[in-house]
């Protein structure tokens, strides 16, 4: 009988014999992989950094830019003490970490916690469950993540190996953006005027802009390799507002992991990676050292109507050579056009879960709750007696189902947990668009959004399907959607408007890719499924920070289950207050 165990009475001699037998059997079993507790301290400080011949003071962790590398194994516990020494409020988000029953450690300001104020500390305590590969951490308040970010490297458990060739060496490659101005001032001015913020002055690889930018030849990332070896590049897009192409001249790579989850390997000359995504690729170097230097480059993919930083960051892949070789040829890669949507779609459709016995794809086969969310831009009215720089004198806005989500002045999770939601949030977020129209056709005349902190409530372990529909309001474009607290399966995607009568027949419910961040196709739709198996309050938002700042976000409330391991514990004693 399932769910019930029978107990029998044994006399002491029989009991001891059985106990001895069990102990002998257990001693012969393989030893469980040991997990560690790893302690880190993040001191939030300001220090001077020079890029593009421009020196400025930035906010950073431990005076490092990019920030320190966290290294752990699957199953390890991380305890990270964050001490705020700067004038800015701060929070840290551990991007992609499931935070199973540790929602207090997720990090988005005013969602799972109040910010850490000047002179205060907060200790993030969580376990890496079900992750192996590459994630990253970053500030999750205003635009501080432009300089406050770093890699989170998660190795397999001890005595476990990769499901692919063991690399000779592993190298994190973090893409970022650099502003000569203070990014906090950039977004503050944009929100005040209602216009679009100034774009970045450069992209970076591991904090370095590279030789294609002014005054930056010495600030170039160089990867020195040996011939005939396999290197694993841990790609992380920590850029603020741009999806990127990445390629290495005359080299292909094999994609083996996405968002700290293994995928079926496939080869490519160009990788597409959205902000918030991570991708591990294997680079097999040439059998002998060529007399050439190879450029690795990243440049934006964009289809919208606004202005972007349409520049290219370059690093150098260099083979170890005989010192006598001089005047090496420099070979440049070829990247797709800035608006090559068909290339991006073909690339993203190559991702598939391993779907093996050891690494299964536990896709919800049936759905209990369905949602249809439109994702896109809009406008807000200009306040009286002011001039705004958005479309037709309005202010730029962004929304989900035409709801632009303002953050409250206290944390949603605390309000929910202690039953004090009145005046903080409501639970009436629309499951469908309230005013249907041809979402990828001619946009409606009225583009005004509604400002409201509305949420969706889910029973524990509900199977959920969400169709994310791009819109053409102020231009169709890809939106990288990130869901906190969960991984999800991308079961379908297409161009145009989603058809609920035809499109589900083509859903992949066998081996869809499992991710935490995904790009919604420009002028198209994407369907995801997940189990709501993590109690708490979880943000879902566009990982273009400009769109998040304009309100393109919403929150899920997942109720406690019945069992003790299905409930969110009380908050830690040092949780910051607002």
pLDDT in tens, 365-401: 999 999 999 999 999 999 999 999 999 999 999 999 9
pLDDT value of position 35: 86
Nearest to 395 by CA among 419, 418, 378, 376: 378
Q: Which residues neighbour 30 within 8 Å (Cβ) at sequence distance 6 or greater?
A: none
Secondary structure of residue 11 in the 3-state scheme: coil
Residue 330, Cβ density class (10 Å: 0-12 exposed, 13-18 middle, ≥19 buried): exposed
Quick one: pLDDT band at residue 322, thresholds 50, 70, 90?
A: low
Residue 486 has pLDDT above 80, yes or no: yes
Residue with tokens 């994609």: 255
- For 74, residues 6+ apart whose C-beta sits below 8 A from its C-beta are 128, 129, 130, 131, 132, 154, 155, 156, 157, 160
Token readout for 16 is: 């001891």
The predicted pLDDT at position 10 comes to 33
Cβ proximity of 134 and 232 under 8 Å: no
Residue 572 pLDDT exceeds 70: yes
Task: Give 290-312 pLDDT, tens digit per residue.
Answer: 989 999 999 999 999 889 999 99
CB atoms within 10 A of CB 13: 8
pLDDT score for 325: 59
| 554, two tokens | 């919403």
Is the bond into 303 cis (omega within 30 degrees of 0)? no
Please state, in angstroms and rounded to a whole number, the distance separating the CA atoms of residues 139 and 544: 14
pLDDT of residue 3: 36
What mean pLDDT comes out for the span 483-497? 98
Is residue 193 helix, strand or coil?
A: helix
259 with 277: CB under 8 angstroms?
A: yes
For 36-50, how does the pLDDT look when each residue is reduced to its tens digit (9 = 90+)?
999 999 999 999 999
For residues 49 and 56, give the distance between their C-alpha atoms in angstroms, rounded to a whole number.
6
Give pLDDT tens digits for 438-466: 999 999 999 999 999 999 999 999 999 99
Give the whole-number percent of the chain exceeding pLDDT 90.
92
pLDDT at 27: 36
pLDDT at 7: 29
Q: Is the pLDDT of residue 23 over 70?
A: no
Task: Please answer whether residues 416 and 423 qualify as being in contact, where contact means their C-beta atoms are separated by less than 8 angstroms.
Answer: no
pLDDT in tens, 152-181: 999 999 999 999 999 999 999 999 999 999
- pLDDT exceeds cutoff 80 at 335: yes
Q: Are the CB atoms for 246 and 255 separated by under 8 Å?
A: no
Structure confidence by residue, pLDDT tens digits, 107-129? 999 999 999 999 999 999 999 99
As a whole number, mean pLDDT of residues 516-542 equals 98
| pLDDT band with cut points at 50, 70 and 90 for residue 564 | very high
What's the alpha-carbon Rg for the chain, to the nearest Å? Answer: 25
Instruction: Cite the beta strand spans of 425-576 per DSSP E.
Output: 450-451, 455-458, 462-470, 479-483, 488-495, 514-515, 517-520, 524-532, 536-542, 553-558
The strand pair at 261-268 and 292-301 is best described as unpaired
Tokens of 7: 């107990």
DSSP string, 213-260: STT-TTS--EEEE-TT-EEEEEEEE--SS-EEEEEETT--EEEEEETT
Task: Specify whether the CB–CB gap between 92 and 79 falls below 8 A.
Answer: no
Cα distance between residue 508 and residue 365, in whole Å: 10
Chain centroid offset of residue 42 CA:
20
Residue 473 has pLDDT above 80, yes or no: yes
**pLDDT (0 to 100) of residue 326:** 66
User: How far apart (Å, rounded) are the C-alpha atoms in residues 147 and 92?
Assistant: 12
The whole-chain average pLDDT of the chain stands at: 93
Between CA 170 and CA 160 the distance in angstroms is 17
Structure tokens at 562: 């019945």
Q: Supply the DSSP string of 304-363, one letter for each residue.
A: SSS------EEEEEEE---TT--SPEEE---PPPTT-HHHHHHHHTT-BB---SSS----
Better-predicted residue by pLDDT, 115 or 326: 115
pLDDT of residue 15: 36
Average pLDDT of the segment spanning 538-553? 98
Where does 94-182 have alpha helices with state H?
none
Residue 33: what pLDDT?
52
For 225-275, what is each residue's pLDDT tens digit?
A: 999 999 999 999 999 999 999 999 999 999 999 999 999 999 999 999 999
Strand partners, 467: 372, 527
Tell whether the torsion through CA atoms of 564, 570, 572 and 575 is positive or negative.
positive
Q: How far apart are CA 179 and CA 254, in angstroms?
A: 32
Segment 510-532 mean pLDDT:
98
Measured from the Cβ of residue 192, the count of other Cβ atoms closer than 10 Å reads 12
């Amino acid at each position: 009988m399932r769910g019930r165990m029978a107990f029998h009475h044994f006399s002491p001699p029989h009991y001891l014999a059985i106990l001895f037998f069990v102990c002998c059997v257990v001693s012969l079993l393989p030893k469980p992989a040991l997990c560690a507790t790893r302690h880190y301290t993040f001191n939030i400080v300001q220090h001077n950094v020079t890029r593009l011949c421009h020196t400025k003071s930035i906010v950073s962790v431990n005076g490092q830019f990019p920030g320190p590398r966290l290294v752990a194994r699957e199953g390890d516990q991380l305890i990270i003490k964050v001490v705020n020494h700067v004038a800015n409020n701060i929070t840290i988000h551990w991007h992609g970490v499931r935070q199973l029953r540790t929602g207090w450690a997720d990090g988005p300001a005013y969602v799972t916690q109040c910010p850490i104020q000047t002179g205060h500390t907060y200790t993030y305590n969580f376990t890496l469950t079900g992750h192996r590969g590459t994630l990253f951490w970053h500030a999750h308040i205003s635009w501080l993540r432009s300089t406050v970010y770093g890699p989170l490297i998660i190795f397999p458990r001890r005595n476990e190996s990769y499901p692919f060739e063991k690399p000779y060496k592993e190298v994190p490659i973090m893409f970022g953006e650099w502003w000569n101005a203070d990014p906090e001032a950039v977004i503050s001015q944009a929100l005040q005027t209602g216009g679009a913020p100034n774009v970045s002055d450069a992209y970076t690889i591991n904090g370095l802009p590279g030789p294609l930018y002014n005054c930056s030849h010495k600030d170039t990332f160089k990867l020195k390799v040996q011939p005939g070896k396999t290197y694993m590049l841990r790609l992380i897009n920590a850029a603020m507002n741009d999806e990127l192409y990445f390629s290495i001249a005359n080299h292909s790579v094999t994609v083996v992991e996405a968002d700290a989850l293994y995928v079926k390997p496939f080869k490519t000359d160009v990788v597409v990676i959205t902000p918030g995504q991570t991708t591990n690729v294997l680079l097999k170097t040439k059998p002998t050292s060529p007399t050439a230097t190879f450029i690795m480059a990243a440049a934006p993919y964009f289809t919208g109507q606004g202005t972007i930083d349409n520049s290219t960051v370059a690093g150098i892949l260099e083979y170890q050579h005989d010192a006598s070789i001089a005047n090496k040829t420099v070979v440049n890669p070829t990247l797709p056009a800035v608006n090559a949507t068909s290339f991006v779609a073909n690339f993203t459709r190559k991702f598939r879960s391993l779907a093996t016995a050891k690494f299964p794809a536990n896709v919800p086969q049936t759905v209990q709750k369905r949602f249809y969310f439109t994702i896109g831009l809009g406008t807000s009215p200009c306040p009286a007696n002011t001039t705004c720089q958005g479309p037709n004198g309005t202010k730029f806005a962004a929304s989900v189902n035409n709801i632009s989500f303002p953050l409250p002045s206290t944390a949603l999770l605390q309000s929910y947990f202690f039953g004090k939601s009145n005046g903080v949030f409501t639970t009436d977020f629309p499951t469908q668009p309230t005013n249907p129209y041809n979402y990828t056709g001619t946009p409606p005349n009225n583009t005004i959004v509604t400002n409201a902190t509305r949420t969706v409530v889910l029973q524990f372990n509900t199977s959920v399907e969400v169709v994310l529909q791009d819109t053409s309001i102020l231009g169709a474009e890809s939106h990288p959607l990130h869901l906190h607290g969960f991984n999800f399966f991308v079961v379908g995607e297409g161009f145009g408007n989603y058809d609920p009568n035809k499109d589900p027949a083509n859903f992949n419910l066998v081996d869809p890719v499992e991710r935490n961040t995904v790009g919604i196709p420009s002028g198209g739709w994407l369907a995801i499924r997940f189990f709501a198996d993590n109690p708490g309050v979880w943000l879902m938002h566009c990982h273009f920070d400009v769109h998040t700042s304009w309100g393109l976000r919403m929150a899920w409330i997942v109720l406690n289950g019945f069992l003790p391991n299905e409930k969110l514990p009380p908050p830690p004693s040092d949780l910051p207050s607002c």
